[in-house]
Structure 1
Amino acid sequence: MRKNFYFRSFLIAAVIILLSSFYYLPYYVSKPGMAKELEPIIKVEDGFEEKGSFMLTTVRMGRANIYAFVMAKLSKYQELYTVEEIRGENETDEEYNVRQLHLMSSSKLAAIETAYKKAGIPLKYHYNGVYVLNIMEDMPAEGKLRAGDRIFKVDGKEFQSSEEFIGTVSAKQEGEEITLTYERQNQTKETNLTLKTLQETGKPGVGITLVDDKEVEVDPAVNIDSEEIGGPSAGFMFSLEIYNQLIKEDLTRGYRIAGTGTINAEGTVGRIGGIEQKIVAADKADAEIFFAPNENGAEDSNYIDAVATAKDINTDMKIVPINTFDDAVEFLRKLD
């Protein structure tokens, strides 16, 4: 009798756990991901080899079911975020995914610009229009455009950059109708929109946030295989790996070097999320040096949090504060 009771109790518990794994709460959970070597991901044509390695660090992010929620509450280096904290206001899953892909695309472009400029190699740009990232509520584009659409004509005239698009549209009057030509899933489409004044700018618009569809041409060519990576936080480490393959000097000096941070075309390193989890990931991968965004010495910088985490997990990994790409290169050139 008692055996039957225990068996039924076990069976009920198993069913509850199974069902809970399919029920998602309005939270995202992030946890330490991995530290991944960049040399297999980034290939500069006829690039130089390195004895050590540069590594990007990641966090694992996903919607929280009941089990994941409980585990995050009990784990020191797992964090819970509300849906609103991860996605923008009124942003759909589709828009969020498109935004992450374009943030990664922009970070790759900025990394290439930074590395090739530092190496003294010229770049050529090609503009192909703009990508739609988000659609504003109660604005003309709602229901007609989608995140990921590539707009390349206004009233039949081609334009190149987001600056040119905004200038053309904002020069018109509220109530005027414009025709946008765009590409969606390899099909060219047109839509007519009646302009409406944007509260943020006081100028006419269609109610979209956008980003340039820009390509860069370089010689030697570079390929970055980033299909498994989203967001902008790998940009800084991308730039170091590209630059190291462009120059004869090996900046790794044989060390295992991890890090994180956004990068812009001027080589400025920016703040990222999940620095604590990335320190844990780098330590598990036996990294010896970790570059952390210093944010010009801000009291709540990524660097401050990284140092605290490194102390807490008792790692021998050296945490290095970085404001710019040049800071990192200067530090590496002083290594034994």
Structure 2
Amino acid sequence: MKKHRKLIVIVSILVLLVALFLPLPFFIESPGSAQPTADSITVNQHHDQRAGKFLFTTVELSSATPLSLIWAACTPFHDIEPRQEVMAGDNTKEYLQMQNYFMENASNSAIEAAFKKAHRSYTKEYLGIYVMSFLKNSHFKGHLQVGDTVSEIDGHRFSSSQAFIKYVKAQKVNQLVTVKYQRHGKTHQTKQKLMAMTHPRRPGLGISLVDHVRIRTTPKVAINAGDIGGPSAGLMFSLQIYSQLTKQNLTRGRKIAGTGTINSQGKVGPIGGIDKKVYAANREHAQIFFAPNDRVTKKILKVDPHYENNYTIAKKAAARLNTKMKIVPVKSLDDAYNYLKTHQ
């Protein structure tokens, strides 16, 4: 009898351990945080100390276990997503590198948009080519990594990715080229063959790339979001920078949350998980939430007849929460600014 009880205890412990720790090929998306942008941004080496806050919102992404999967399936504002769909074929390290790049790019665009709106000058320093991904047959795969910055090829430096591509196109397939690149602040180089690209057929490194730039401003703007990645804080960062740059008190003591990508022209773009971001903002007692209001075209509806834009989803989330927080649709930095100036 004692042996039987002991066996039951052992089996129960094993089942519990499996339920708690067995990794499954899924991620759970849940409400993250609503953090003050002033904690992450300095203008002229100063954090904004004024009353009121701009809040940038996040989605938490966690690996699923059997127990957490059951919990997520039964909990509002929690979604279960296949790991492969979220990672898009990248490994964890590459995925995190990509998210870091998106945050860096969002920060640059936020600075540009704010300075343009304030009619203040800035300069862009071209650092090189940022490696985003590799084609399967690229000879540079295994030598370069996602997140590396390519600064030279065959001793030539370029001022844009277009100039870089133009040089490579003028070479020959299987030609050896020497690439100099930066990784974690250190300079390396590798010599590999160019591959035959298709559509159109031409020589290439077999990598997808974007310009890697640094924005230089006076006064100096610094953004440090810690471990948070992705592009969706752009709008809220830009509002914070503009508010400090022009010394305008846009918050008026309020908690103003929101989300949305931003480009250098101040255009706001859609993001993922906005319902969870509304939840996070409401939890922090925000009074206003800016939601991207991207246009729903016939072309989009043809691909996805059930498509809803960020603003629509955010409104529904607010209704589910029965919150008094105002959901405000925006398509640009100007939209957000004008709302704050006319609703004080």
- For the criterion TM > 0.5, the same-fold answer is yes
| Alpha-carbon distance in structure 2 between the residues aligned to 1:184 and 1:48 | 33
Matched, 1:326 2:334: yes
Deviating more after overlay: 191-200 vs 240-249: 191-200
Hey, what does 1:98 align to over in structure 2?
97
Residue 248 of structure 1, CA deviation: 2.5
Preserved contact between residue 49 and residue 245 of structure 1 (Cα < 8 Å): no
Distance in 1 (alpha carbons) for counterparts of 2:122 and 2:65? 47
Q: How does 1:108-187 map to 2 (within 5 A)?
A: 108-187=107-186
Q: Residue 73 of structure 2 corresponds to which residue in structure 1?
A: 73
Corresponding residue of 1:270: 269
Deviations 1:192-221 (A, max 9, x none): 222223234433211112232211111111
Q: 1:11 to 1:335 in 2, by over 3 A?
A: farther
Provide the C-alpha distance between the structure 1 equivalents of 2:66 and 2:36, rounded to a whole number of angstroms.
33
* Residues 1:210 and 2:218 aligned together: no
Corresponding position of 2:302: none
CA contact (8 A) 1:38 1:55 kept: yes
What is the aligned-residue identity percentage?
A: 37
Alignment RMSD, CA only? 2.1
Structure 2 partner of 1:86:
86
Q: SS state of the match for residue 142, structure 1?
A: coil
Q: Mark the CA change 1:47 to 1:27 in structure 2 (over 3 Å): closer, same or farther.
A: closer
Once the two structures are superposed, the pairs formed by residues 289-304 of structure 1 within 5 Å of their partners are 289-296=288-295, 300-304=308-312
2-structure distance, mates of 1:57, 1:232: 11
Question: Which is worse superposed, 209-218 or 316-325?
Answer: 209-218
* Partner Cα distance (1:10, 1:225) in 2: 49
The aligned residue for residue 317 of structure 2 is 309
Contact 1:48–1:246 at 8 Å: present in 2 too?
A: no
Q: Is the 8 A contact 1:268 1:325 kept in 2?
A: yes
Structure 1: tracts of 5 or more residues without a match: none
Letter in 2 for 1:203: R
8 Å Cα contact 1:32/1:281 also seen in 2: yes
TM-score by length of 1: 0.93
Give the total of aligned pairs: 334
Alpha-carbon distance between aligned partners in 1 of 2:162 and 2:180, rounded to the nearest angstrom: 17
Distance 1:210 1:244, change over 3 A: same
Asked if the contact 1:128–1:161 (Cα under 8 Å) also holds between the matched residues in 2, the reply is no
Match of 1:50 in 2: 50
In the alignment, structure 2 segments of 5+ residues that lack a partner are 298-306
Match of 1:39 in 2: 38
Moved more, 195-204 or 258-267: 195-204
* 1:135/1:145 contact within 8 Å kept: no
Matched residues in 1 for 2:83 and 2:39: separation? 34
Give the TM-score normalised by structure 2.
Answer: 0.91
Moved more, 207-216 or 42-51: 42-51
Residues 263/200 of structure 1: CA separation in 2 closer, same or farther (3 Å cut): farther
CA distance in 1 between counterparts of 2:139 and 2:194 reads 7
